[in-house]
Amino acid sequence: MPAPPRRSGEGAAPARAVALVLSLAAGAGAFMLFLQFGSADGLQWIDILRSVLIFLSTWWLAWGAVQGVMGLFTRARVPRACAPVLPDAPIAGRTVVLVPVYNEDPAVTFARIAAMDASLAAAGAAPAQVHFAILSDTRDDAIARQERLWFLHLLREREGVGRIFYRRRADNRGKKAGNVEEFIQASGAAYDHALILDADSLMEGGTILAMIRRMEAEPDLGLLQTLPKIIRARTRFGRAMQFSAAFYSPVFARGLAMMQGRTGPFWGHNALVRMRAFAEACGLPELAGKPPFGGHILSHDYVEAALLARAGWRVRLDDDLGGSWEEGPENIVEHAKRDRRWCQGNLQHSRLLAAPGLRPWSRFVFVQGIFAYIAPLFWLAFMAASIAAPSLTPPLDYFPEPYWPFPVFPSDETSKAIGLAIGIFGLLLLPKLLIALAAGIGGRARGFGGALRAMGSTLAELLFSSVTAPVLLMFQTRSVLQVLMGRDAGWPAHNRSDGFVPLARAWEAAHWIVIWGIAGLAGTWWLAPVLVFWLSPVVVPMILAPFIITWSSGESRGGLFATPQEAETPPVVALHDAILARWQAGPPADIPAAAAG
């Protein structure tokens, strides 16, 4: 079968152009305003530097804001297939669900597989249509023994012999990407499609079948990405992230869908791939040199999407698909640990910007991913330059003209600085407020407790994110500097405990942020005391970082941050809860008590 024909971006170019022009215009406006403000007492090199930094930072903020606003003006994207996709259309091909695991609790993980298998059966899937493959990279031998025992129980409970498989690699070369690649090389020819999950993924059987039918209806579709939403969050931090993913993300995803064309995103999980396309196009290179910039590619998903697009396959995000779930970090420390790996993977993409044959949008996606991590450095550099500016500029000369007896006072450009500050805060706040307003008017807010409660949750999330943002910014900055200094993050296992971080552990993780916050406050007071008020929203949360980490990791008991899945538990989640409760009530007869515990 020949490779699919190459086509244009299918109408994505206008959306991309609008987003780029508007964001660059916002950045240019911020540059001009600050340059006029900074040069009121004479243009100095430090004024030009700060203006360039504010341009880069504002452009990035505006790019995200424009994407959100664009998403408000379109509906959930329903694809146009080559032929109508009927809900009960017969499925011709065979699909395997790939579940990579790495030092996970096997009872919890395998119960998810049991729940998805039951959900598929309820949705009408024939046993031969969808198989499961558990791909273990577990390094802990004790956990591996439990995996094998719970796998036997899963087989017996779901009558899965011949369609549910387990294998553990002796060498976890290439991490998750290498694990999936090894399976495809060994067994991929037996399947037409592969649904790639994470260990914490859950998907409704009906959603999986809908994805398969869409892919079979469009022969050039190489990858179909869903929009996973977070479930089971319990802490303040986790529930704020869960609310954001459920309330804001669908709108931002629609903005992204307007710009993606044939080169959509792949986020590494909860996505269906065409096996032949993935096998032919997505062999990942091992980058020359040592980590962090060399070796195996950590953020492999973006690269695989780019390789599929290069080969002529369509990569698409269908934001109308529901029933796609995942779990998220429950505290700032776990979030920062995961983000450290993503940071290294995204910065690795700088080695791939000039790779031959990539689509221009794929290269721009790499640039976006890199910029997402280096943008905090621009903000910090801007703040540092502003603090240092008074000591780096010559004193005001009120008599610049010789023999002129009257002083010349600089013009007051304070209004421009205030206007710039309002504009930057507007880019941060306005898209979310508009989403809340549109949800109240359109009725979507009913699933979030009603219009008033949804607006209250939005305001609380804005306040919460403004407090936690400086702490996250410092963790992200450290990650970038560690990568630039040659430190490898590796692939740490996830901690899926209750999420609470005691103050002693929070201090251990964030004491350096406290030191930098105190140093920043003292330096500002000494060099530029007029800026203490303006910088306090940044340095005060830094000084209080351990308390913020501990408080935000506490259990959320309030009525804010409600989501539809909390009001009505999704069917596959309820299935998983029931199966796991039964499994954990007592070790099954075929599982020794020591292993089950």
The string of pLDDT tens digits covering residues 324-350 is: 999 999 999 999 999 999 999 999 999
Residue with token string 């040069």:
39
State the Cα–Cα distance between residues 523 and 137, nearest whole angstrom: 48
- Residue 592: the pLDDT is 62
DSSP state of 449: T
- Residue 214: the pLDDT is 95
| Residue 493: band (very low, low, confident or very high) from pLDDT cuts 50, 70, 90 | low
- Residue 73: the pLDDT is 85
Domains of the chain: 93-393+436-500+553-587 (3.90.550.10)
- Residue 5: the pLDDT is 38
- Residue 418: the pLDDT is 76
- Residue 87: the pLDDT is 77
Task: Extract the tokens encoding 248.
Answer: 């804001």
Residue with the larger pLDDT of the pair 192 and 90: 192
523-558 pLDDT, tens digit per residue, is 999 999 989 998 999 999 999 999 999 999 999 877
State the Cα–Cα distance between residues 371 and 353, nearest whole angstrom: 13
- Residue 590: the pLDDT is 63
Task: List own/partner pairs for 17-23 with CB under 8 A and 24 or more apart.
Answer: 18/66, 18/70, 19/63, 19/66, 19/67, 19/70, 19/255, 19/259, 20/63, 22/62, 22/66, 23/59, 23/60, 23/62, 23/63, 23/65, 23/66
Lowest mean pLDDT among 170-184, 244-258, 409-423, 429-443: 409-423
| Residue 49: band (very low, low, confident or very high) from pLDDT cuts 50, 70, 90 | very high
Full-model pTM: 0.90
- Residue 13: the pLDDT is 87
- Residue 308: the pLDDT is 97
Name the nearest CA neighbour of 324 among 274, 247, 270, 272.
Answer: 270
- Residue 398: the pLDDT is 45
Helix (H, G, I), strand (E, B) or coil at 486: coil
E strand spans, 176-238: 193-196, 202-203, 221-225, 229-230
State the Cα–Cα distance between residues 324 and 318, nearest whole angstrom: 11
CA 195 to chain centre: 19
139-157 pLDDT, tens digit per residue, is 999 999 999 999 999 999 9
Amino acid at 226: T
Spatial contact of 12 and 260, defined as CB atoms under 8 Å apart: yes
Element (DSSP H or E) covering residue 95: strand 95-101
- Residue 7: the pLDDT is 39
Spatial contact of 224 and 271, defined as CB atoms under 8 Å apart: yes
Query: H helices of 325-450, where?
Result: 332-348, 360-392, 414-442
Amino acid at 94: R
- Residue 456: the pLDDT is 96
Lowest mean pLDDT among 95-109, 475-489, 495-509: 495-509
State the Cα–Cα distance between residues 338 and 333, nearest whole angstrom: 9
State the Cα–Cα distance between residues 160 and 154, nearest whole angstrom: 7
- Residue 3: the pLDDT is 44
| Residue 467: band (very low, low, confident or very high) from pLDDT cuts 50, 70, 90 | very high
Question: Average pLDDT of the chain?
Answer: 89
3-20 pLDDT, tens digit per residue, is 443 333 456 888 899 999
Helix (H, G, I), strand (E, B) or coil at 581: helix
Q: Is the per-residue pLDDT at 458 higher than 70?
A: yes
Query: Between the ranges 45-49, 389-393, 457-461, where is the mean pLDDT highest?
Result: 457-461
- Residue 535: the pLDDT is 92
As a whole number, mean pLDDT of residues 364-391 equals 93
| Residue 374: band (very low, low, confident or very high) from pLDDT cuts 50, 70, 90 | very high
As a whole number, mean pLDDT of residues 394-406 equals 56
